[in-house]
Homo-oligomer: A and B are copies of this chain.
Amino acid sequence: MSDDLGPLVDRIVNAGVDTDLENVAIEKAMLIDELEDLEFDQWARLLEALPIEERLSQWQLISDDVQAEVLVEMRAEARLSIIDTLATDNLEQIFSLLSPEDLIELADSLPDHLIDLALQQMDQKQRLFFEHSNQFNENQIGRYADHNLLVLPQNAKVYDALRLLRRAIPECTDTLFLTDRAGRYAGTVPLQSTFGSPGHISLVELLDEQAEPLLAEMSLEESAEVLEKSEYVLLPIIDVKGMLIGRMTIKDGFQIMRESHEAENMARAGLSESEDLFSPILKSSMRRATWLGINLLTAFLASWAIGLFEATLQQVVALAVLMPIVASMGGIAGSQTLTLIIRGIALGQISRGNLMPLLIKELSVGCFNGFLWALAIGGVVAYWFSDFMIGLVIASAIAINIMAAAFSGVIIPVLLEKLKIDPALSGSVILTTVTDVVGFVTFLGLGTLFLI
């Protein structure tokens, strides 16, 4: 859990509520003092946590030289809620403090004329950096290349390295890179190895031949994984021509993982990761409506399946009462299998070779739990409705639906993966549609056969 910004949020929202004006003034002064100690990302999260009006008034309290950094740390939608209210000269001033790396972070959510404005504040070299990064799309590591590099020419010697190290070493650095005259990446030298070597030795002799650079086109997640396995805390990034265009540090990897985790959680509910706690109601409603619409279609499918048995339901109303139990048990059992298989797919562990044994194992588990819960639920229901036959019908439906769920839980994610659809996002919706329909049809179908 992150540190709790709640108390600050409370005090900001409540400041000014006190009727004693002197108290208000004291509290406000104390608040401003405390806010000065916040770090960029704390400021960002605090602003995100505030309703729009308070957000804009707190924004004024951030000192000018920090505003740019805070904007960079904010999630896209909340960030725009502030940018949209700023006057051009204010924006110009903020943008004049942006590095090309920061501008790239913002670029996805900035309108074109603001990007142009920011570019005008940069010098030639910075503009070049930006344009270079901007060639790559939002899921390519080249876009986020950091330019804080220790670089030496290929023919440099250990004393060149030591001289370089005596000046500032960038954060998160345990290697330096060699390039040829054209700027092409020529290898990685661990800093460690330069300490123990005589000054006249060529750095080329200290190259780590195993070290592999990241390719600019690699996806963010893949890069993070390569870096995690590497023995270094940063890796060079090269483009198709082999030019050294920047570096990725393990801290970037950490942030990528965190954001991709957050995005996955949000996407499961049909939300965007940039969703603002206080986004405008109309905008937020319209976006959520799409996800509701998709799910409505699956609900209508379930209703249609039930509708097939209207005549039966009219005669045995207990079936209507019990329907949700059959559907729900199937959904839960299926989601357990689904989750296990999705993890296996993410780890690269599922293939044709183990699909059949997996299916057999999951069906066996389904068989066990199917019979266990069929017995339990059948017993309870037979007692509840004082009717043995209805107990038998729900027991059979539960057993069949839990086994169908186990089957679907294995097959659906594997199929989706083959179709290049992320099973972590859509697997669950499809699975519950299947378990709903199978559950309703089996239960009401058996009811039609045995209870009428």
Interface residues of A (CB under 8 A from B): 1-7, 9-14, 39, 41, 45-46, 48-51, 162, 165-169, 171-174, 192, 195-196, 221-222, 225, 228-229, 231, 233, 250-251, 253-255, 257-258, 261-262, 265-266, 268-271, 275, 277-278, 281-282, 284-285, 288-289, 291-292, 295-296, 298-300, 302-303, 306-307, 310, 313-314, 317-318, 320-325, 327-329, 332-333, 335-336, 338-340, 342-344, 346-354, 357-358, 361, 364-365, 368-369, 372-373, 376-377, 380, 436
Once bound together, how far apart are the Cα atoms of A50 and B278, in whole Å?
48
Of B171, B361, B377, which is within 8 A of A296 by CB? B377
A348 touches B4 (CB 8 A): yes
**B306 adjacent to A233 (CB under 8 Å):** no
Q: In the complex, what residues of B have CB within 8 A of residue A261's CB?
A: 257, 261
**How far is A41 from B281 in the complex, measured between Cα atoms in Å?**
47
Name the B residues within 8 Å of A1 (CB-CB). 221-222, 346, 348
Interchain CA distance A354-B346 in the complex, whole Å: 37
Contact of A292 (CB < 8 Å), options: B233, B343, B369: B369
CB pair B349–A49 under 8 Å, yes or no, is yes
CB pair B321–A10 under 8 Å, yes or no, is no
Take A295-B329, A365-B281 as given contacts and tell me if A343 and B302 are in contact as well, using a CB distance cutoff of 8 Å: no
Q: How far is the CB of A71 from chain B (nearest CB, A)?
A: 17
B349/A324 in contact, CB under 8 A:
no
Q: How far is the CB of A307 from chain B (nearest CB, A)?
A: 5
**Cβ of A312 to closest chain B Cβ, rounded Å:** 9
